[in-house]
Structure 1
């Protein structure tokens, strides 16, 4: 009975369970970094939360698109190297050739889309397994950035590009963005509820729905107040929130989003129903390329330079964030918000253990153990039997 109740809770309340985990991690590190002399916890400060969110923004951007790739039944091991390549290109265009910011951003995003679509075409239309395609891409992209940069750091980038990674929003603008985000969430919630009622599907009671939305509103308010008490919302965090909104709308409010989940659940049945499965997969990889480009721009802006080692291991962090956030390794199941909470868990562990001076090898071991536990929880929540 206990096993059945645990499985039901995990399958129906994954985001709530993840948020509880986040709170427990923050409470633990808050206690461990508490300074008895000052009476302040080093972890639970507005400055550290700002740094923490800035750290997780890049992984979160990658994870938002990686959810679609995994839900569609594929994998992308090249995004870390692609991030490094596109970030290096951005640095070269900006620092060496003096391109305007709009031109640099446009070129890098288009290059990311083209390289992502190439991965998707090789996978979907030529039938090469995505594991092999993207593993090859990982090596090729990393070699390309070494060749383009000559193995040296390209710096300094312009102040306008640095602002993307290092800037903060004014308080009034941050408040406006928070209100816009909450309004968008309200719209999506009521739209989803109306559609489910039209199709006679189960929906939460009005009281439960209102309580959930009020809780989200309180979280957004607290988020903005804490960040405004330091220097404001970091620009990378704003970019991440924008990505969250766009990808959530794609997943829940578009026909294409439903196609992605259908392809991951049963590709053959989806093909027989008239959906162009190959095109869906190729476009998903294209979106992954665009997000790698955006993450590359943000990384270069944050470091104020293009470095050949940028993005190293980024694909593993993005994939781990998706699995921790409830995305199923079998495809067909996953959410963007879950992946971002997974990225927050990863970033919180990195941040807290670094503040405590935990050795890097222990950090890697702990994150690996958490990843295995997350996949095991996915197995027991879905009721998959071991052979």
Structure 2
């Protein structure tokens, strides 16, 4: 009974333990301002990781999310700086991210490519497209009419809570509903559990894969908009390595890389664990080089522990 309880709630238990240990060593950790700071910093990775959860549940992987984030953010802010409405710029950026994600799904489902290879190729192509689009230089919103409205998306507040936190919560609530209360969610789990059996049951597996990668691309673009808005600029190298943080959040949240097992709620816990680790190391003035090593060790231990409990 105890083992089953631990297995089911190990991510939440880990999050609580991390928080308790860190709060003992640093009294500033549990302050309201710091908690809001953690949630805001975690929001971008959380949004990407929500989309990655859909992909991993099908037994796939998406390495292109960091590049999609960079390209969508660059397109969005360039439109804002050119005088287009913020609403139109956001819609165009989201459509671009969705199209790239859908293309990933088509390459994988119709082209029969391995997800790793297909999304690795897309990652490289889109990263190159970002460098071409930006000419290797940052793009800022400047003094355009919609600059302040655009900045509010990533840097604004509502009821003293950063807007990116609201966006993150909405994304996870919608993702949870889609996975747990709609037919599509059952198809995703079924596909990850046994693709052949899913095909034989009459489910259009190709359509599910295309839709799943479309969701991943859409949410990567949304994260790109939030990050670009917060920084008021689009960097040509934005999002490098973000796909790894997203995958790490999914794994730490208990989703199996072989597919069919996991939840989006676990993913947000995993994202918070990574955010808390980064925040704690920053509070302790630990070098960023060591932070990367510590994060890698935590992920490795989590995966080993997960294997041991299987």
Q: Same fold, TM exceeding 0.5?
A: yes
Counterpart CA distance in 1 for 2:85 and 2:99 is 21
Residue 143 of structure 1 pairs with residue 128 of structure 2: yes
For residues 264-300 of structure 1, give each alpha carbon's deviation from its aligned partner in whole angstroms, at most 9, with x where no partner exists: 0000000001001111011000000100110000010
Range with bigger deviation, 301-310 or 255-264: 301-310
Q: Does 1:168 align with 2:157?
A: yes
Residue 295 (structure 1) aligned with residue 223 (structure 2): yes
Aligned with 2:181 (options 218, 230, 253): 253
Mapped to 2, the partners of 1:137 and 1:357 lie a distance apart of 37
Unaligned runs of 5+ in 1: 34-40, 171-231, 383-387
Work out the CA distance in 1 between the residues paired with 2:11 and 2:80.
Answer: 40
Q: Mark the structure with the bigger radius of gyration.
A: 1
Tell me if the contact between 1:151 and 1:308 (Cα under 8 Å) persists in the aligned partners. yes
> Is 1:349 aligned with 2:273?
no
- RMSD between aligned alpha carbons? 1.3
Aligned residue pair count: 306
Q: Which residue of 1 aligns with 2:162?
A: 234
Matched, 1:19 2:8: no
Aligned pair partner of 1:323 in 245, 251, 265: 251
Matches within 5 A, 1:1-387: 6=3, 8-11=4-7, 13-14=8-9, 17-33=10-26, 41-95=27-81, 97-156=82-141, 158-170=147-159, 232-382=160-310
Deviation at residue 5 of structure 1 after TM alignment: 5.0
Distance apart, 1:20 and its partner CA: 2.7
Q: CA deviation at 1:364?
A: 1.1
Task: Say if 1:10 and 1:381, in contact at 8 Å, map to a contact too.
Answer: no
Shift in Å at residue 143 of structure 1? 1.1
Contact 1:164-1:235 within 8 A present in 2 as well = yes
Residue 51 of structure 1, CA deviation? 1.1
| Cα distance in 1 for residues equivalent to 2:221 and 2:300 | 29
1:114 is paired with a residue whose SS is helix
Contact 2:138-2:233 at 8 Å conserved across structures: yes
Give the Cα separation in 1 of the matches to 2:137 and 2:296: 31
Three-state SS of the structure 1 residue aligned to 2:203 is coil
* TM-score between the two structures when normalised by the length of structure 2: 0.96
Per-residue CA shift, 1:62-118, capped at 9, x if unaligned?
1111111001010001101110111111111111x1110110111111111111000
* Distance in 2 of aligned mates of 1:5 and 1:362: 35
- Structure 1 residue 42, shift from structure 2 partner: 2.1
The alpha-carbon distance between structure 1 residues 19 and 5, as it changes in their structure 2 partners (threshold 3 A), is closer
Q: Give, in whole Å, the separation in 1 of the partners of 2:228 and 2:189.
A: 33
Aligned counterparts of 1:358 and 1:144: Cα–Cα separation in 2: 35
